Amino acid sequence: MSSGLDSFLAGAPWPQRIGLRVLLALARRPRGALLLARVPLAEQAAFSTLVLGRYDDPAVAGALGWDAAAVVARGRALRRAEGRP
Amino acid sequence: MTVSERIDADFCVIGAGAGGAVVAAELAEGGASVVVLEQGPAHDPDSFSARPPEMLARLYRDGGQTATLGSPPILLPLGRGLGGTTLVNSGTCFRTPPRLLARWAAEFGLELDEASMRPCFERVERALSVSEVTPELAGANAAVARRGAERLGWSHGYLRRNARGCVGSGVCVFGCPTSAKQHTGITYIPRARAAGAQIVTGADVREILLERARASGVVARLANGQALEVRAPEVVIACGAIHTPLLLERNRLGGASGQRGRNLSLHPATAAFALMDEVVDMARGVPQSFYVDEFASEGIMLEGVAGPPAYAAMSLPLAGERHARAMAHYPRLAQFGLMVSDHSRGRVRSLAGRPLIRYDLCSEDLARFRAGLARLHELFLAAGAREVYLPLSEGVPPERARAADLTLMAFHPLGSARADARATHGVVDGDLAVHGVAGVHVADGSVVPSALGVNPQLTIMALATRLAFRLLGREVPGESHGSGPGRHHQDDEEAACHS
C-alpha cells in the first residue's frame, strides 16, 4: 500500500478506518471480491479507495499526463519569486 | 484539567476558518486584544504535494472521511487548521442571494438586507481579491461545459473566486501550491497577527467559562496535553456547522429552543464525467471556474469540478474493466458537478465527543437530483461527448434513480445553530449572540438559517464582518452604493423536510 493511501486510511475515524481496511483486504482476494459484490456500497468504497492509491502512483499518473512534482515545483518557484506566503 | 497557562484578552475566538479568522482580524485591527484558538495546525504550503490521498489526510478533518448517516450516506469533507475549509475549498465566491436576505428578515426576524450587507461583502471581497476567472485560466474542462450550455441556450458564466496570481494548478481542494487562493489562513490570520492577536494552534476548546450567565473565558487542551485558560468577557465560537453545536451542547448553551444541532442543511452534490474527442486535461486550469445557473430557481446549480487522476479515479462512477478503460482516456475526460439547494434537514449530535450526523435525502431533493443528472447528461451530449458517465448504479436511468442509487458528497453545512430573533426558535439572535447567555456569539455557517443554493464562504465572512463591527460598537465602513458584483441567482422558497 502506498504511504499516501496509508496516511489517508490512518486519518479516517476509527470505525471507517477499520471498515476500510477490512474491505480492502477482501477486495484483494478473489473470494473476498465475490463477497463484496453482494454489497454494492461496500464494494464501491473498497474500489474507490484502491483506485485512489493506484492512480496516485507517480508512474501511473505520469502516464496520464499528470506530474504532481512539477506542479509543486512550479508553485514553490512562484511563491519564492513573488514573495507569496 | 489543571490550567498551566492563562492569557487575558477582550475577545477569545474559537476557530480560524471563514468566520473566526475574519472576526479576529477585524476585532484586532479595531484595537481589541484577541486570542484565536484553533484546533488544527498551521499548514506550510511547502508541504503541499498535489497528491490527493496525502493531502486529504493532512488538510481535512478525519482525512476527508467525515460522513453522514442516512439514506444515502454522504461524505462531507471539512478543512482543518488555519484557514479551516477555506484552505481546501474551490474558492468560489457568491454573495448571499438578496431574496434569501429578505426571507431571513421576514421569517427569522433578522435585520439583514442587501443595502446593509453590501459594505460587508465589499470589504470581504477586497480582502480576498475576489475576481472572475478568465476563460484562459478556466481551461478546457470549463470550455466543454460552456460549449454545451451555449448550444442549449442555458444561462451560464465564469465564477468569481478569491485568488490572486492563480496559474491553474488544478488542486485547489488539495492545498494550493502557489498560495494563489486567498484563504483566510493567508489573508485574515496574518492581518489579525499583525494587529496583535495571539493565534494558538492545536488548541482543543473543552470548556466555555461562565460567571452569572455571562462568558468569562475558555479552557482549551493544548497539543502537549497542558491546559490553556483564556480569560475574556466575549467569546466567539466559529467551529463550523458540524462542531459548533457540539461545543454548545458540551457547555449546555443555546439549547432552550430545542434547535441546537437541528436544521442542518447541506449542499448535497455529485458529478458526471464525459469522454470527449478533444484533449481536456481536466486538472490544467481552475477546477471550479464555470457555472450553469439555468435551473437555480429549481434548486439545481451546475458547477465545475475536476482534479488529477487519483481524484478522478476515485470519483469516476464505473468499476472494473470499464473504469480502467475510461481512466486510460483520462486526458480526454471532462467532469462537471451538480449541487442541490436542499430541502432535507439533518441533525448533528455528539456521540462520545464525536459528531454523529444524521441526514436523509427527502423526496423533493431526490427529484432535484434526477432532474439535475438528466441535465448534466444533456449538457455533455450537447458539448459533443462520446460517452457520459452518470453517478448512478449501473443501468439506472436518472428518472428512476432512488436515493440508494446516488453517489453523493456534500459541502457547505449550515443551519445547526440557526439565527432567529426569537429565543424560542433559534440558537442565536439577529446579532449572532447565543440566546440565554451574555457574551457568547457564533460566527460560522451554523447560524445561516436556510440553504443558500450557492457556495457560502462570502455569506459567512460577511456575517462575521458585521458581527465584529457590532462587537466593536462601530459601523462597517461604507463603500460604493452601486449594485455590486453579486450574482442574481434566483433561489427557490423552500419548506424544509426534516430527517
Domains of chain B, start order: 3-498 (3.50.50.60)
The whole-number pLDDT of residue B487 equals: 40
Counting Cα atoms < 13 Å in the Cβ hemisphere of B173 gives 22
Please judge whether B65 and A11 are an interchain contact, meaning their C-beta atoms are less than 8 angstroms apart.
yes
The whole-number pLDDT of residue B491 equals: 40
The whole-number pLDDT of residue B483 equals: 42
The whole-number pLDDT of residue B479 equals: 57
Q: How far is A26 from chain B (nearest CA, A)?
A: 15
Contact between residue B178 and residue B169 where contact means Cβ atoms under 8 Å apart: yes
Mean pLDDT, rounded, for B437-465:
97
Nearest CA in chain B to A49: B314
Q: Which three cell numbers stand for residue B326?
A: 475510461
Domain count for chain A:
2
Q: How far is A22 from chain B (nearest CA, A)?
A: 16
Q: Is the pLDDT of residue B493 over 60?
A: no
Q: Is the pLDDT of residue B342 over 80?
A: yes
From chain B, pick out residues whose CB is under 8 angstroms from the CB of A54: 313
Please judge whether A11 and B52 are an interchain contact, meaning their C-beta atoms are less than 8 angstroms apart.
no
Please judge whether B73 and A41 are an interchain contact, meaning their C-beta atoms are less than 8 angstroms apart.
yes
A64 closest CB neighbour out of B73, B314, B330: B330
Going by C-beta distance under 8 Å and a sequence separation of 6 or more, which residues neighbour residue B14?
B20, B36, B37, B205, B218, B235, B236, B237, B238, B239, B247
Pair (A62, A36) in one structural domain: no
Rounded distance between C-alpha atoms, residue B314 and residue B301, angstroms? 23
Q: Which three cell numbers stand for residue A81?
A: 519569486
Distances (CA, A) of B441 to B39, B299, B438: 18, 30, 9
Pair (A63, A24) in one structural domain: no
Pair (A1, A30) in one structural domain: yes
The whole-number pLDDT of residue A3 equals: 80
Nearest CA in chain B to A4: B54
Q: Is the pLDDT of residue B496 over 60?
A: no
B319 closest CB neighbour out of A16, A47, A84: A47
Our CA angle for B440, B91, A67, nearest 5°, is: 130
Active site residues of B: 412
Q: How far is B101 from chain A (nearest CA, A)?
A: 35
Please judge whether A85 and B323 are an interchain contact, meaning their C-beta atoms are less than 8 angstroms apart.
no
Please judge whether A51 and B314 are an interchain contact, meaning their C-beta atoms are less than 8 angstroms apart.
yes
Q: What percent of chain B has pLDDT over 70?
A: 96
A4 closest CB neighbour out of B51, B323, B393: B51
Q: If you count them, how many residues does chain A have?
A: 85
Indicate the average pLDDT of chain B: 94
Pair (A12, A30) in one structural domain: yes
Mean pLDDT, rounded, for B408-425:
97
- Residue of B43, B48, B54 to mutate, interface with A, max A Cβ within 10 Å: B54
The whole-number pLDDT of residue B484 equals: 42
Contact between residue B408 and residue B378 where contact means Cβ atoms under 8 Å apart: no
pLDDT in tens, B71-118: 999 999 999 999 999 999 999 999 999 999 999 999 999 999 999 999
Please judge whether B54 and A55 are an interchain contact, meaning their C-beta atoms are less than 8 angstroms apart.
no
**Predicted TM-score of the model (pTM):** 0.94
Pair (A68, A44) in one structural domain: no
Rounded distance between C-alpha atoms, residue A12 and residue B63, angstroms? 5
The whole-number pLDDT of residue B495 equals: 47
Q: For residue B336, which of B298, B382, B299 has the smallest C-alpha distance? A: B382
B309 closest CB neighbour out of A7, A11, A64: A64
Could you write out the three-class secondary structure of B247-265?
HHHHCCCCCCCCCCCCCEE
Pair (A69, A40) in one structural domain: no
Please state whether the peptide bond connecting residue B72 to the residue before it is cis, i.e. omega within 30 degrees of 0: yes
The whole-number pLDDT of residue B2 equals: 77
Distances (CA, A) of B322 to B313, B343, B446: 12, 35, 41
Size of interface A-B (CB pairs under 8 A): 135
The helix-helix angle for B363-382 and B135-152 (nearest 10°) equals: 100
What is the dihedral angle through the alpha carbons of B51, B52, B53, B56, rounded to the nearest 10 degrees? 120
DSSP-derived secondary structure letter, B35 = E
Pair (A45, A79) in one structural domain: no
CA B42 to chain centre: 19
Pair (A16, A42) in one structural domain: yes
The whole-number pLDDT of residue B497 equals: 53
| Beta strand ranges found along B69-132 (DSSP E) | 74-75, 130-132
Q: Which three cell numbers stand for residue B50?
A: 498535489
From chain A, pick out residues whose CB is under 8 angstroms from the CB of B270: none
Please judge whether A75 and B178 are an interchain contact, meaning their C-beta atoms are less than 8 angstroms apart.
yes
Please judge whether A8 and B64 are an interchain contact, meaning their C-beta atoms are less than 8 angstroms apart.
yes
Contact between residue B456 and residue B448 where contact means Cβ atoms under 8 Å apart: yes
Strands B160-162 and B156-158: unpaired
Rounded distance between C-alpha atoms, residue B268 and residue B400, angstroms? 19
Pair (A49, A9) in one structural domain: yes
Q: How far is A71 from chain B (nearest CA, A)?
A: 6
- Domain that residue A70 falls in: 58-85
Provide, for chain B, the percentages of residues in helix, strand and coil under a 3-state DSSP scheme, each rounded to the nearest 5: 30, 25, 45
Following DSSP, what letter does each residue of A8-66 receive, concatenated? HHHTS-HHHHHHHHHHHHHHTSHHHHHHHTTSHHHHHHHHHHHHHHHTTSHHHHHHTT-
Q: How far is A62 from chain B (nearest CA, A)?
A: 9
From chain A, pick out residues whose CB is under 8 angstroms from the CB of B190: 85
pLDDT in tens, B34-43: 999 999 999 9
Pair (A41, A70) in one structural domain: no
pLDDT in tens, B354-381: 999 999 999 999 999 999 999 999 999 9
Pair (A16, A41) in one structural domain: yes
Pair (A49, A81) in one structural domain: no
Going by C-beta distance under 8 Å and a sequence separation of 6 or more, which residues neighbour residue B249?
B255, B260, B261, B349, B350
Rounded distance between C-alpha atoms, residue B71 and residue B465, angstroms? 37
Please judge whether A74 and B178 are an interchain contact, meaning their C-beta atoms are less than 8 angstroms apart.
yes
The whole-number pLDDT of residue B499 equals: 44
Q: Is A57 exposed, middle or buried (0-12, 13-18, 19+ CB in 10 A)?
A: middle
- Residue of B314, B327, B407 to mutate, interface with A, max A Cβ within 10 Å: B314
Q: For residue B275, which of B313, B324, B327 has the smallest C-alpha distance? A: B327
pLDDT in tens, B212-263: 999 999 999 999 999 999 999 999 999 999 999 999 999 999 999 999 999 9
Give me the phi and psi of B402, to 5 degrees please: -100, 165
